Every structure is written in structure tokens, then in C-alpha cells.
A and B are shown apart, each in its own frame.
Chain A
Amino acid sequence: MLTQSDISRYSRHLLLPEIGMKGQEKLKAASVLVVGAGGLGSPLLMYLAAAGVGRIGLVEFDVVDQSNLQRQILYSDSDIGRPKIEAAIERIQALNPLITLEAHEVRLTRDNALGIINRYDLVADGTDNFATRYLVNDACVLAGRPNVYASIFRFDGQVSIFGAVDGPCYRCLYPEPPPPGLVPNCAEGGVLGVLPGIVGSIQAVEVIKMITGIGETLIGRLLLFDALSMHFNTLTLRRDPGCPVCGESPNITELIDYDQFCGVTDPIAESREDHQKKNGEVEVNMFNKRPEYTPVELEARMKQNPDLILVDVRAAAERDIASIGGTHIPLNELSERITELEEFKESEIVVMCRSGVRSAHAQKFLLENGFGDVKNLAGGILAWSDTVDGSIPKY
């Protein structure tokens, strides 16, 4: 039942014949789990709260970073360094004190996903990595919860609804994730700040339509949005009868290891294990990893060895922001362009990126392809800025 306060607050919904009192009561009785309170989660959470969705759960474990503020409009400058979930709940509850908010300050994992998802009527996925995308998809299919999905990259957005009765799931479209390094994430490739505002708002519309049962939802359709050309397009989707999770004979009947499925590895930890295996060592030793230079060591080494080959594996746009020179071969082009480094196979090569993770992948790749002396710049250009040259901007 709607209270007088509800009626005043939601009057513009009540005036819509498609929603009216019944639709608003459905919204009040509904529960939605929003996974990720970032770019998509910001408008999504605010509009769902403003619309009067009775109970909203948030899954988020990150803290607010200055680089979030270009698009994550839930947060203010004064929130930098605060847990996102704390700042988000404060902001959303201030927007609408009539609804219930539930904080899940955890990383969603195969161990906790079903327990959390089962508490809600439907899920809205606004996460930022493939492993969690597949986890949310599989958990929603197994729990029988529709998953209102959106994702963004640079100027493009995709929205659909997966796991609904008779509808396809995420795996029906994308049976496997891209190989690691082939598709950059927003931290590597960038994203237009307004984009999640538009796409997350569309996601909110679909959640509201699912709850109220109005209109034509995006079940069985993929909405594509191209902000550069300002084109909206929809593609018809089919449920895959051979889908391993929602098909006729599924072989995924419980949640799996999604990091492994997506090829997500910590190349630095992995390098340690490789080294230990090679040396027959059992004990974990922090120094047993593929060779690396700290920025201070690299600076000294560059002075000693002017022939040292520095390879920057970041995207071109990143080099425009901050650069310490070197040959430029983006990580996703390295396998195609490895011949450009052929003459340096016996030379000392140092690979670098923003934080040292992509370059660790590049290091592993070069070592596996016969390069004899490849070192990683530990901490990347961010660490260089911190310890060698503060005039190099951090991004």
C-alpha cells in the first residue's frame, strides 16, 4: 500500500496510466540488486531510488578515486578515499529516505554470489570486468533471476536483459571472453564521461519496465548505442540451445572459477611461481619473480646502458598524457609486431606501462618467444612519477 508520502513523492508516476497506483506498488514491493556502483551504477542507483524501488542492494568494495569523478556522479570531490558503498548509500538515502538500502561491501565471488542474488527479485549488472560479467550471468541463470545488463567502452554502450524466461543469457551471445589483453578496459582505453549516464539510465528504464510489466523490454534484443554517430540500433538475439548454462543440456550447473575462465592471472605472482618451479623451490620468496627494475634502478641503468631498449606497451592516448620515451608497441599489437623487436633478442629490454601489470604480460610474452633479457618496470609510469620525476602526470 502506498502511503500519503509515497503518493506525493511519486505523483508523476501515478499520473501515467501505464504505471499508476498498481505499478508504483509493484515498484515499492520490488527488490533489485545493483552489482557495481561505478559509472553505470551511479545513474542506475539514483533513478531506481528516485523511482521508489522498495529495496535496493549494492555490491561494491572499491574506494572513490579522483579519476572516478569524471563519470561516477554518485560521488563528490570530498568523497575521494572513502569506501564507495558508504558514500553511495549516504547519497541515495538522502535522495529517497522512503526506501531500504542494503550494503554488500564484498567482491562478488563464486562463493557468495548465489546467496546475495537469491535475496532479490532481479539483478542489474554494472560491473567492470569480464570475470564478474560471467559470474553474474551464471548466478542469475542458476538462481532464476533476470539480469538487466549494460556495458560501456569509449563511446559505445550495450544493453540487454539476460536470464529471463525463454530469453538468451550472456553466454548465448558471447560464449567466451576475449583473450586477455585484446579488449582494453575503461582504465586502459578510456570512456566518455557522459556515456554511462545515458546507458545506465537506459538500464534503469529496463529495470522499471521489468518490475511494472509495461512496454517491450530488451529481452531477446541487444541495444547498441554509439555516442559518436548518435545512433541507436537493436539486434535480435537468439537463445542458444547448446548454451552451457541455459541451454537444453547445460554442463555448468554450479558456479566455476571465473578468473581462470577469463584467463585472468596476476602476471607478477605468476612470474614468481614460474621461477620457483624452474628452481625447484617450494618456499614462497618475494624476490623470486621475473626480473624487474624499480624506477630508480631503471633511471640509473639507462644512464649506464644507453643501448637499453625501453618498450612502452600502453595505448597511444596514454603516451600523449605522460611518457618517458621508448619504443611504442601497445600490448594488444605485440604479437603482430614482435618482429620489430627481433634485432634486440639478445639485448636488455625493459617493458613498461601505467602500473606494471600490462607490461608484466608483455614481459612474459617476450620471454616465451625467445627474448633473453626482459625486465619489467615495477609500478609503471605511476611509480616513475612518484619516485623519479614528479613532473610526469599521473592518470
Chain B
Amino acid sequence: MVTSGQRYFKVKGDTIAEAFHNLFESFPQLRIHILDESDSIRQHILVYADDSDIRWTEGLSTPITDCQELTVIQAVSGG
């Protein structure tokens, strides 16, 4: 698995893009799962800053504050 099973991470960054950048430093294979070829969030990925979907704020440029919780989830299809 791309994060060796780790599911929760502490990351730093002034924006969500920076937080992801720092996360990908540790887990480079995670990048392809979250960002597409144009560095946009993939269409089957949801990113929430606390309870806000960042698509409705400033996207990856959304500033983040100390202790803010980011939730990244992907569409899954199992039934």
C-alpha cells in the first residue's frame, strides 16, 4: 500500500496544496491517487477542510489553520 497502511498523518502547510506537497514528500506514490496530470484534485476524490468541501472554497489554494483537520476520501464501489 502506498502509505504502508498509515491512515492518519500530521502535515504542515499554509494552504492545502502545501500540505499535500509535504505529504507527498513522505509518500510519493500517494500523489497519483489524489492529483491528476494537471495537478488538480481528481474527480473521484473529496477533500474537506473540517466540514467544508474545498471545491466550494478556494480549492487547493484554501488556507489552512493550525490544528485543522483535512479529510481526503475517494469514491469506492464495493458492495
Within 1-59 of B, Cβ neighbours of A (below 8 Å) are at: 1-2, 7-8, 28-29, 32-33, 42-44, 46, 48, 51-53, 56
CB distance B56 to A238 under 8 Å? yes
Q: Is A182 a contact partner of B33 (Cβ separation < 8 A)?
A: yes
> Would A151 and B51 be within 8 Å (CB), given that A176-B43, A183-B44 are in contact?
no
Please determine whether A186 and B53 come into contact, CB atoms closer than 8 angstroms: no
User: What does the 1/0 interface line of A314-335 toward B look like (CB < 8 Å)?
Assistant: 0010000000000000001101
Q: A151–B77 contact, CB under 8 A?
A: yes
A178 CB within 8 Å of chain B:
yes
A235 to B29, CA, bound (A): 26
C-beta contact mask, A189-206 vs B, less than 8 Å → 1, else 0? 001000010000000000
B contact set with A: CB distance below 8 Å: 1-2, 7-8, 28-29, 32-33, 42-44, 46, 48, 51-53, 56, 71, 73-79
Tell me the minimal C-beta distance from A142 to chain B in angstroms: 21
- Given A176-B44, A233-B71, decide whether A130 and B77 contact each other with a Cβ distance below 8 A: yes
Contact status B53-A130, CB under 8 Å: no
Cα separation A316 to B4 with both chains bound (whole Å)? 11
Question: Does B53 lie within 8 Å of A238, measured CB to CB?
Answer: yes
**Distance of A175 Cα from B40 Cα, bound (Å):** 14
The smallest C-beta distance from B37 to any residue of chain A, in angstroms, reads 10
- Tell me which of B2, B51, B75 contacts A174 (CB under 8 A): B75
B48 closest partner in A (C-beta): A235
From the candidates B42, B53, B78, name the one contacting A178 in the complex (CB within 8 A).
B42
Give A358 to B35 CA distance when docked, in angstroms.
22
A152-B53 Cα distance, complex, nearest whole Å: 21
Cβ A128 vs Cβ B46 within 8 A = no
Provided the pairs A224-B73, A228-B7, A238-B53 are in contact, do residues A153 and B78 lie with their beta carbons within 8 angstroms?
A: yes
Are A235 and B75 touching (Cβ within 8 A)? Answer: no
A174-B44, A178-B42, A235-B71 in contact; A40/B33 too (CB < 8 A)? no
A163 beta carbon closer than 8 Å to chain B: no
Q: Check B78–A191 contact: CB distance below 8 A.
A: yes
Query: Do A183 and B76 touch (CB < 8 A)?
Result: yes
B33, B46, B75, B77: which has the most chain A beta carbons within 10 Å? B77
| 20 cross-chain CB contacts under 8 A | A129-B77, A130-B77, A151-B78, A152-B78, A153-B78, A156-B76, A158-B73, A173-B46, A173-B75, A176-B43, A177-B43, A178-B75, A185-B78, A191-B78, A228-B7, A235-B46, A235-B48, A235-B73, A238-B53, A332-B33
For chain A, what secondary structure do more than half of its interface residues adopt (helix, strand, loop), or is it mixed? mixed
Q: Give the total of A residues in contact with B, Cβ under 8 Å.
A: 45
The residues of B that contact A238 with a CB separation of less than 8 Å are: 53, 56
A175, B43: Cβ atoms closer than 8 Å: yes
**A182 with B32: CB separation less than 8 A:** yes
A336 at interface, CB cutoff 8 A: yes
A:82-137 near B, CB below 8 Å? 125-130, 133
The answer to the question of A267 belonging to the interface, with a C-beta cut-off of 8 Å to chain B, is no
Measured between beta carbons, the chain B residues less than 8 angstroms from A178 are 42, 44, 74-75
Q: How far is the CB of B16 from chain A (nearest CB, A)?
A: 16
Going nearest first, the 8 A-B pairs with the smallest beta carbon separation are: A176-B43, A153-B76, A186-B78, A128-B79, A178-B44, A174-B75, A126-B79, A152-B78
* Beta-carbon nearest neighbor of B32 in chain A: A336
Q: Are B79 and A196 in contact (CB under 8 A)?
A: yes
Cα of A386 to Cα of B74 in the assembled complex, Å: 36
Which B residues lie within 8 Å of A38 (CB)?
Answer: 79
With both chains docked as a complex, state the minimum distance between the C-beta of B66 and any C-beta of chain A, in angstroms. 21
Of chain B, the residue at the smallest CB distance from A195 is B78
Instruction: Report the bound CA distance from A233 to B73 in whole Å.
Output: 12
Q: How far is the CA of A128 from the CA of B2 in the complex (A)?
A: 23
Contact A235 B7 (CB under 8 A): no
Q: Name 15 extra pairs, CB < 8 A, besides A38-B79, A238-B56.
A: A128-B78, A129-B77, A133-B77, A151-B76, A153-B77, A176-B43, A183-B77, A186-B78, A191-B78, A196-B79, A228-B7, A233-B71, A235-B51, A235-B53, A335-B32
Residue A50 interfacial (CB < 8 Å)? no
Q: Mark A163-187, 1 if CB is under 8 A from B, else 0.
A: 0000000000111111000110110
Q: How far is the CA of A130 from the CA of B71 in the complex (A)?
A: 22
A380 interface residue, CB < 8 Å from B?
no
Q: Is the CB of B48 within 8 A of A127?
A: no
In the complex, the answer to whether B76 meets A152 with C-beta atoms within 8 Å is: yes
